[in-house]
């Protein structure tokens, strides 16, 4: 027992109610979460036992206010587990995974409370509710139903057991991937090992070595290191080593092997789906999406896949021609060679070289560009405040105010890769926006986090981003704006808590602004000279925009197809060898050998570190239909900052949360449903008609 008070449960007195990060220890979380879960159960029991007849206010709105202490503690726990973990924190994750899942099952299957909620839902049309109130009632009722509230006793208990087991397995899957990512490094020990690497990559590899207590240069499995290495290294043997380490994460025999973990997850997800009346997990997951059905997803993937294959074949022909120019005999292109030869083709065709481009994308400049676009579009002001507590020195904290200078939220940005931080890029929250608070309390302002995994520059130089890295920062910032700009009454409908195939619209549409010429003219300045990016270089970048898009589209779509296929299997037993299943599926679909896919199943965290994107990786493409069509509204208005279009985007997309059905929200913004042609044009696939 700890003698001192638990800082997670004491009042948070830091500025704006931020967590007392400096006081927190891994040992604080288990007792705090256990106590917070008990408090949540007591709150729910009181609602279920209420003597007054159920009303929207005493049942639906009241439920939306429950569990706030648990939300507060759990959000810190999960954010630290992702961004600044430790052995002790990982042990706490494993220990708490099942109890947390059991708690949420118990809450969402509470018979007394659900009877009150169910009765209100049955007569919702007669209650005189506002549209937002009705939306909350419908969403909460669906949450309970999809958690097993309508099941009989035995299947309901089994459903809860399945969810507990899944929570343990998904936690283990994520930790296994982190182990493989943080435990591998490629030391470059001789001048020959550095052949072809531009200065920015050498500087980043040197900094990676310093951070690991080593000398020289080190390539890690951070995307911002391994992708440039595969692009520029003149050493095919070293490229192969890096590629194999990157693509076999989670596939090494021993304690951290994800192959059986993923199969166990698939078994349980199929059982979960069957308990809910579905033949496979994909049907269960898609029932609460914009797409709705597997056939709708397959229709979209089928529209893109053959066009992308045709485009990638033309790209491969160009790579083969480049190999011939370098005196190599005809032969198939290996997956660790594609980026290398593609970069040579890009230089020849468009005279575009990352070594020339990256000096114009210093990290601080790209952050300033994102803030400036948010100000011009939505009137936001981001003011750094070093007095705000943060969990790591890398994190920058900002107060966010609207055009009337009113504080609307807090933004934390954590941009750098670390061994104790999971890979990828993501948005999360420490607090969601809501006005549904107890009498006398102030409305709850959001606290939003963005995480990236950029490789730090050398100590005396800025961190330089590729254009893809800059897009990633804008993408996650778009998610961040979705959380910060939320303007709804109820927490359950706040911010990014929308249907999964709508949540990527605010992030993906914001990516467009990083390549707008007027944004580049203002913010893309050489880090040494301060000179703006030359107009001629901007033109070359614009001409190269569609280069290698077949490759990128095929890699993404292949991963989406594998996801949908493995979650559509009706058999009780998943494939004995998931790698062979994946390879056979993609070979039959015509995936070229040298292209590969974005994520293999054994390390596919979107699918197996949680259920968030399981049978849902397609959503990036679905949302891209919306973002490409939606951004055309600015082009039609004649300005990327047209105030009328920006106002509609803010009102109907960024601030409405889940208070409106997403199809209706998009139509309110655009004036009609989305069309697929802008997506095909954006990816250069309009001319790549399927054979």
Half-sphere exposure of 382 (CA within 13 A, CB side): 24
What torsion, rounded to 10 degrees, do the Cα atoms 86, 92, 93, 96 define?
A: -170
Alpha-carbon Rg for the chain in angstroms: 25
Report the distance separating Cα 290 and Cα 338, nearest Å: 35
What does the block give as tokens for 565?
Answer: 């296929």
Contact 101, 74 (CB under 8 A): no
Contact 290, 622 (CB under 8 A): yes
Report the distance separating Cα 405 and Cα 423, nearest Å: 35
What are the C-alpha distances in Å from 526 to residues 202, 353, 529, 634? Answer: 19, 15, 6, 28
Report the run of H or E that residue 386 belongs to, with start and end: none
> Which 8-state DSSP code applies to residue 358?
G
* Closest alpha carbon to 312 in 594, 599, 26: 594
SS3 399: strand
Block residue for tokens 């059991």: 102
> Which 8-state DSSP code applies to residue 610?
S
Longest dimension (CA), the chain: 85
Block residue for tokens 């230089």: 347
Q: How many CB atoms lie within 10 A of CB 217?
A: 21
The one catalytic residue in 43, 181, 315, 476 is 476
Report the distance separating Cα 314 and Cα 339, nearest Å: 15
Contact 591, 338 (CB under 8 A): no
> Which 8-state DSSP code applies to residue 191?
G
Contact 206, 214 (CB under 8 A): no
Does 240 qualify as catalytic in the annotation?
A: no
Which of the residues are catalytic? 476
């Amino acid at each position: 027992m700890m003698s001192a008070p638990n800082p997670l449960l004491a009042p948070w007195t830091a500025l704006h109610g931020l967590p007392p990060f400096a006081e927190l220890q891994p040992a604080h979380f288990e007792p705090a979460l256990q106590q917070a879960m008990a408090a949540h159960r007591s709150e729910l029991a009181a609602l279920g036992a209420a003597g007054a007849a159920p009303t929207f206010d005493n049942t639906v709105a009241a439920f939306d206010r429950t569990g706030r202490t648990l939300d507060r503690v759990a959000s810190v726990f999960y954010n630290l587990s992702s961004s600044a973990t430790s052995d002790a924190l990982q042990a706490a994750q494993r220990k708490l995974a099942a109890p947390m899942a059991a708690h949420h099952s118990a809450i969402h299957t509470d018979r007394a409370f659900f009877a009150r909620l169910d009765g209100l839902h049955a007569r919702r049309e007669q209650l005189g509710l506002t549209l937002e109130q009705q939306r909350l009632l419908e969403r909460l009722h669906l949450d309970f139903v999809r958690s097993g509230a309508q099941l009989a006793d035995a299947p309901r208990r089994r459903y809860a057991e399945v969810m507990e087991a899944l929570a343990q397995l998904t936690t283990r899957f994520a930790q296994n991937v982190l182990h493989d990512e943080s435990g591998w490094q490629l030391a470059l020990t001789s001048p020959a090992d550095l052949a072809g690497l531009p200065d920015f990559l050498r500087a980043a590899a040197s900094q990676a070595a310093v951070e690991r207590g080593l000398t020289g240069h080190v390539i890690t499995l951070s995307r911002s290191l391994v992708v440039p290495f595969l692009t520029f290294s003149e050493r095919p043997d070293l490229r192969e080593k890096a590629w194999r380490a990157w693509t076999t994460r989670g596939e090494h025999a021993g304690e951290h092997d994800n192959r059986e973990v993923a199969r166990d997850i698939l078994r349980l997800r199929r059982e979960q789906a069957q308990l809910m009346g579905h033949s496979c997990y994909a049907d269960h997951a898609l029932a609460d999406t914009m797409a709705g059905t597997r056939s709708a997803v397959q229709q979209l993937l089928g529209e893109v896949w053959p066009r992308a294959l045709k485009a990638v074949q033309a790209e491969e022909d160009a790579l083969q021609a480049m190999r011939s120019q370098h005196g190599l005999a005809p032969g198939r292109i290996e997956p660790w060679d594609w980026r290398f030869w593609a970069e040579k083709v890009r230089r020849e065709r468009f005279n575009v070289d990352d070594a020339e481009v990256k000096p114009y994308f210093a990290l601080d400049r790209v952050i300033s560009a994102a803030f400036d676009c948010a100000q011009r579009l939505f009137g936001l002001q981001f003011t750094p405040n070093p007095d705000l507590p943060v969990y790591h020195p890398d994190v920058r904290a900002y107060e966010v105010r609207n055009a009337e200078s009113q504080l609307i939220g807090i933004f934390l940005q954590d941009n750098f890769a670390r061994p104790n931080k999971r890979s990828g890029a993501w948005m999360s929250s420490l607090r969601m926006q809501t006005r549904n608070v107890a009498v006398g309390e102030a409305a709850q302002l959001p606290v939003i986090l963005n995480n990236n995994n950029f490789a730090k520059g050398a100590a005396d130089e800025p961190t330089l981003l590729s254009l893809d890295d800059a897009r990633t920062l804008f993408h996650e910032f778009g998610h961040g704006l979705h959380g910060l700009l939320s303007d709804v009454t109820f927490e359950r409908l706040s911010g990014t808590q929308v249907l999964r195939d709508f949540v990527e619209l605010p992030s993906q549409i914001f990516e467009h602004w990083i390549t707008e010429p007027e944004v580049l003219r203002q913010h893309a300045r050489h880090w040494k000279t301060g000179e703006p990016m030359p107009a001629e270089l901007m033109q070359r970048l614009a001409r190269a925009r569609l280069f290698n898009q077949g490759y990128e589209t095929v890699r993404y779509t292949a991963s989406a197809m594998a996801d949908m296929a493995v979650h559509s299997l009706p058999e009780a037993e998943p494939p004995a060898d998931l790698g062979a299943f994946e390879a056979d599926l993609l070979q039959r679909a015509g995936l070229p050998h040298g292209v590969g896919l974005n994520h293999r199943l054994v390390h596919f965290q979107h699918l197996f570190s949680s259920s968030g994107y399981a049978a849902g990786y397609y959503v990036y493409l679905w949302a891209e239909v919306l973002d490409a069509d939606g951004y055309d509204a600015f082009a039609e208005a004649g300005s990327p900052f047209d105030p009328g279009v920006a106002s509609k985007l803010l009102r109907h997309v960024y601030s409405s949360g889940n208070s409106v059905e997403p199809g209706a929200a998009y139509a309110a913004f655009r004036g009609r449903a989305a069309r697929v042609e802008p997506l095909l044009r954006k990816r250069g696939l309009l001319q790549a008609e399927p054979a």
